[in-house]
Each structure stands twice: as structure tokens, then as C-alpha cells.
């Protein structure tokens, strides 16, 4: 029996010819990632274990993004701990205020992820880098500490679900709609400890930003990771970013899958997820008319340039509705600069939106957009759990940038095609 993309990458990492689902392996790590929330916990465990050095200062990345610029004393203390550790161990890839961005947009932008690599991060959305044909997955802070010290971790090889994509996306339909549709189909535990492997002729029509979004939310279906094959668009993205050697892997024709799913991209409609699960999906037509008080366009899921372009195209020449707060957050400094150069920032401001420095901010109820009692937000983020963005009475609808922008204009959930 053949192997899937993920199984081949893990076999290479472990120095084995082959691996089977369920096997425990010790794999070498190509990158260990942490942020200002999780790294301080890892540092505590690192020191508690009596560890004194990191395995490779060039293969660790620490990004201050969740509560930065610091919103309070506690967040400032957490960031200070990260700075001290990064300085003590000469961490090459340390990104502080002014250089940082939302980690899962910044890491690929800086060329820190490449095909065939094994990447772990103390953040559940580390699965984003599967868009580049890497095996990337979230781990706990204790595992981050062990990874920083040894450069290895234990993994259980996951079974795989094959997601065959056919057709092409229509207007106002994006990668966010693809992954919300899939999660709605299989549920938040439908891919529990499985690799979601996206293949098929429809892959070629997806832009890299769409693939990042899809892999980013693999965890919302319970997936261990999400992954795409490497193609011409992947290689074009890597050019000028990654200068080291990398290796791509394709699934064997006889690879075994626990389940196979086919999604016709051309049949998809803009999709939203109502509270309080990403699986509580409905098409925008079914959700249209629900009043909202806040719109968030950004996050590690949808703060990339393509996302901002889609939102700005709808907001340009229009105004945010009275009684609605619209917050736009470019995911990195470079994306911010590119958005400025293209006039997108001016379009947002002229429409009545506020544009923030790169930060996770409101996604986890941190800052830059926390909700009040009984308020509803439509957000391009990845989770709409109870109390995620404010008090437990607040509500979050997950949506694409196009739907979020259209809803900002009308003050209710809106199909962008109706404007």
C-alpha cells in the first residue's frame, strides 16, 4: 500500500522508508514556532527542565502578535519574557513590534516554511503551512519547549481524508467558503487526528491565499493538518522567498484514505458559520438580513492581500452603515504597505472603517475590537466559540472578506452580489 503526502513527509523526517497510520515516530523538526501567548509558557517549561541551549537558533521563530502592541501590563510582561529569551539564545527569527505580523501570514511571507518540511507551532493554526506542501501542526507549549531544545518530537502518523476539488470558484466565492462548506459537511470532529489532503483539478484554480485559508482552518474540523500538492503557483510563491533546498511529495496512486470527499467548487455559494461552531454553516442567502454591530476583516485566516482587495472592491465608494464598526487588520507589515500602495487603505478609511497595525487582536477577544453584551459581529476569523470575542452573550458569524465587507455596508448579513 502506498503513502499519502503527509505520510511521506513524516517518513522522511523520521529517516524511515515508510510509515503507516497509527505508528509512533520521532521526527526531526525544520521549524519550531511560538507567539507572545504560548512562548512564555514554553520558556517556563524549558527552564524548569534545566535546559540551557536551543537545538538551532535559525530554526526557531518567535512572533509577538496576539496582544501586541501590548494592551496591558500582563501582555507587556509576556512580551518582555520572549525578548529576553530570544536575546539570550540569539534567535534569528524574532519578530517584535514594527517587524512582526500575524504569525501564520508572516512565516510563509518570510520564507520560513517550504515543501516537505516538518513545522510545529504552539498555536493551533500552525496547520496553515500545508498550503506550501509542508507538514505543519499545532502543539502545546511543553512540546514547543522540547522541540526548541532537541529539534525532534514524537508524532503519531495520521490517517488521511482525501478532498477532491473539481471545477472553479465563482464570483465572490473564496477559500473561506470552501473550508466552511467542508466543515459544515463533516463537522468539527469530522477529521479528528486526520490529515486533510486537498487534490484534484480544481486545486490549480485556487490562489495561494485561498490555500492558506483552507489549511489554516483544517484544525476547525479536528484535522491534524491540511496539505496541498506543490504546483506551479506554489513554486512561484516560493521564488524569492525560499533559497534553501526543499523536496515536494505527491501521494502514491494506491495511497489509502479513511474517507474520500468531492467538492465541486463551481457549485459553492458564499457561506457563513453562525454561533457557536464553525460547522454551523449556511449559505449567505439563508443567513441574509441578520443585523450586526461589528465587522472584522483580518486575522491569520483572512488578512492577506487578496482578502483586502476583495473587501476594498466592495467598500470603495460606499460607506459603512450607521451603528456598525468596521475594523480592517492587514496581516503583516508588508501586506499593509502593499495595501497602501494599491490605495486599499484609503478606500477603507474613506468608507468609514478603521485600519489597525498587524495583530491577532479581536480574534481571541484580546484587543482592537472586543464586543459588548449581546452584540453580533461578522468576522473573517476562524472561531466563533462562546465568549471568543467578548462576553458570553456576544455572537460571532464567520464569513469571507467579501461577505463581511458587504455586511458592513448594509448593517445586516448580505450577499455581496446583491449590492
Please, which pLDDT band fits residue 292 given cuts at 50, 70 and 90? very high
For residue 21, report the phi and psi dihedrals to the nearest 5 degrees. Answer: -55, 135
The stretch 9-37 carries a mean pLDDT of 97
How far apart (Å, rounded) are the C-alpha atoms in residues 222 and 67?
Answer: 26
Q: Could you tell me the three cell numbers for 4?
A: 499519502
For residue 102, report the phi and psi dihedrals to the nearest 5 degrees. Answer: -65, 125
Mean pLDDT of the chain: 96
Contact (Cβ atoms closer than 8 angstroms) between residue 163 and residue 197? yes
Cβ neighbours for 238, distance < 8 A, ≥ 6 positions apart: 111, 114, 115, 132, 246
Res 398: pLDDT: 98
Dihedral sign, Cα of residue 104, residue 128, residue 58, residue 39: positive
Res 1: pLDDT: 80
The stretch 101-110 carries a mean pLDDT of 97
Dihedral sign, Cα of residue 21, residue 23, residue 27, residue 33: positive
Res 94: pLDDT: 98
Contact (Cβ atoms closer than 8 angstroms) between residue 288 and residue 394? no
Q: Could you tell me the three cell numbers for 304?
A: 492577506
Kindly list the structural domains of the chain, giving each domain's residue range(s) and its CATH number in brackets, ordered by start.
Answer: 5-264 (3.30.499.10), 271-418 (3.30.499.10)
pLDDT at residue 326 is higher than 90: yes
pLDDT tens for 243-261 read 999 999 999 999 999 999 9
Beta strands in 158-304 (DSSP E): 159-166, 194-199, 225-227, 259-264, 271-273, 281-283, 294-297
Res 156: pLDDT: 97
pLDDT at residue 312 is higher than 90: yes
Nearest alpha carbon to residue 269 among 197, 171, 337: 171
The stretch 301-312 carries a mean pLDDT of 97
How far apart (Å, rounded) are the C-alpha atoms in residues 242 and 255?
Answer: 29
Res 377: pLDDT: 97
> For residue 2, what is the DSSP state?
B
pLDDT tens for 221-244 read 999 999 999 999 999 999 999 999
Res 176: pLDDT: 98
How far apart (Å, rounded) are the C-alpha atoms in residues 42 and 344?
Answer: 38
pLDDT tens for 118-170 read 999 999 999 999 999 999 999 999 999 999 999 999 999 999 999 999 999 99
Helix ranges restricted to H, 17-60: 39-48
Cβ neighbours for 182, distance < 8 A, ≥ 6 positions apart: 163, 196, 221, 261, 263
Name the burial class of residue 276, with classes exposed (0-12), middle (13-18) and buried (19+) by CB atoms within 10 angstroms of its CB. Answer: middle
Please tell me the least confidently modeled range out of 173-177, 291-295, 351-355, 387-391. Answer: 387-391
pLDDT tens for 38-69 read 999 999 999 999 999 999 999 999 999 999 89
Residue carrying the nine cell digits 512562548: 39
Residues in the chain: 419
The stretch 387-398 carries a mean pLDDT of 95
How far apart (Å, rounded) are the C-alpha atoms in residues 276 and 387?
Answer: 9
How far apart (Å, rounded) are the C-alpha atoms in residues 287 and 301?
Answer: 21
How far apart (Å, rounded) are the C-alpha atoms in residues 258 and 248?
Answer: 23
How far apart (Å, rounded) are the C-alpha atoms in residues 236 and 251?
Answer: 21
Element (H, E) at 186: helix 175-186
pLDDT at residue 27 is higher than 90: yes
Amino acid at each position: 500500500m502506498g503513502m499519502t503526502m503527509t505520510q511521506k513527509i513524516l517518513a522522511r523526517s523520521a529517516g524511515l522508508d515508510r510509515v503507516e497510520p497509527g505508528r509512533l515516530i520521532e521526527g526531526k523538526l525544520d521549524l519550531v514556532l511560538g507567539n507572545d501567548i504560548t512562548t512564555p509558557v514554553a520558556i517556563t517549561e524549558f527552564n524548569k527542565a534545566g535546559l540551557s541551549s536551543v537545538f538551532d537558533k535559525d530554526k526557531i521563530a518567535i512572533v509577538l502578535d496576539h496582544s501586541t502592541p501590548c494592551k496591558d501590563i500582563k501582555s507587556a510582561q509576556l512580551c518582555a519574557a520572549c525578548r529576553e529569551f530570544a536575546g539570550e539564545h540569539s534567535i534569528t527569527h524574532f519578530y517584535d513590534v514594527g517587524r512582526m505580523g500575524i504569525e501564520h501570514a508572516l512565516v510563509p511571507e518570510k520564507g520560513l516554511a517550504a515543501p516537505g518540511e516538518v513545522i510545529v507551532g504552539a498555536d493551533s493554526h500552525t496547520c496553515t503551512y500545508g498550503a506550501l506542501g509542508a507538514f505543519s501542526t499545532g502543539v502545546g507549549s511543553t512540546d514547543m519547549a522540547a522541540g526548541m531544545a532537541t529539534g525532534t518530537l514524537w508524532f503519531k502518523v495520521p490517517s488521511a481524508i482525501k478532498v477532491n476539488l473539481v471545477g472553479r470558484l465563482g464570483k465572490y466565492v473564496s477559500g473561506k467558503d470552501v473550508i466552511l462548506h467542508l466543515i459544515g459537511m463533516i463537522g468539527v470532529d469530522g477529521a479528528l487526528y486526520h490529515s486533510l489532503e486537498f487534490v484534484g483539478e480544481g486545486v490549480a484554480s485556487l490562489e495561494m491565499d485561498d490555500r492558506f485559508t483552507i489549511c489554516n482552518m483544517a484544525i476547525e474540523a479536528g484535522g491534524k493538518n491540511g496539505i496541498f500538492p506543490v504546483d506551479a503557483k506554489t513554486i512561484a510563491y516560493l521564488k524569492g522567498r525560499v533559497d534553501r533546498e526543499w523536496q515536494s511529495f505527491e501521494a502514491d496512486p494506491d495511497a489509502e484514505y479513511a474517507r474520500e470527499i468531492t467538492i465541486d467548487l463551481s457549485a459553492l455559494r458564499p457561506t457563513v458559520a453562525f454561533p457557536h461552531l464553525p460547522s454551523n454553516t449556511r449559505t449567505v442567502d439563508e443567513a441574509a438580513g441578520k443585523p450586526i454591530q461589528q465587522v472584522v476583516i483580518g486575522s491569520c485566516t483572512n488578512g492577506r492581500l487578496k482578502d483586502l482587495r476583495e473587501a476594498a472592491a466592495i467598500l470603495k465608494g460606499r460607506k459603512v452603515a450607521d451603528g456598525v464598526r468596521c475594523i480592517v487588520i492587514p496581516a503583516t507589515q508588508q501586506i499593509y504597505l502593499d495595501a497602501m500602495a494599491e490605495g486599499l487603505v484609503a478606500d477603507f478609511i474613506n468608507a468609514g472603517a478603521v485600519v489597525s497595525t498587524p495583530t491577532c487582536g479581536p480574534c481571541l477577544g484580546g484587543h482592537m475590537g472586543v464586543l459588548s453584551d449581546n452584540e453580533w459581529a461578522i468576522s473573517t476569523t476562524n472561531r466563533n466559540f462562546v465568549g471568543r470575542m467578548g462576553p458570553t452573550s456576544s455572537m460571532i458569524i464567520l464569513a469571507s472578506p467579501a461577505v463581511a465587507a458587504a455586511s458592513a455596508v448594509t448593517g445586516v448579513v448580505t450577499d455581496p452580489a446583491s449590492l
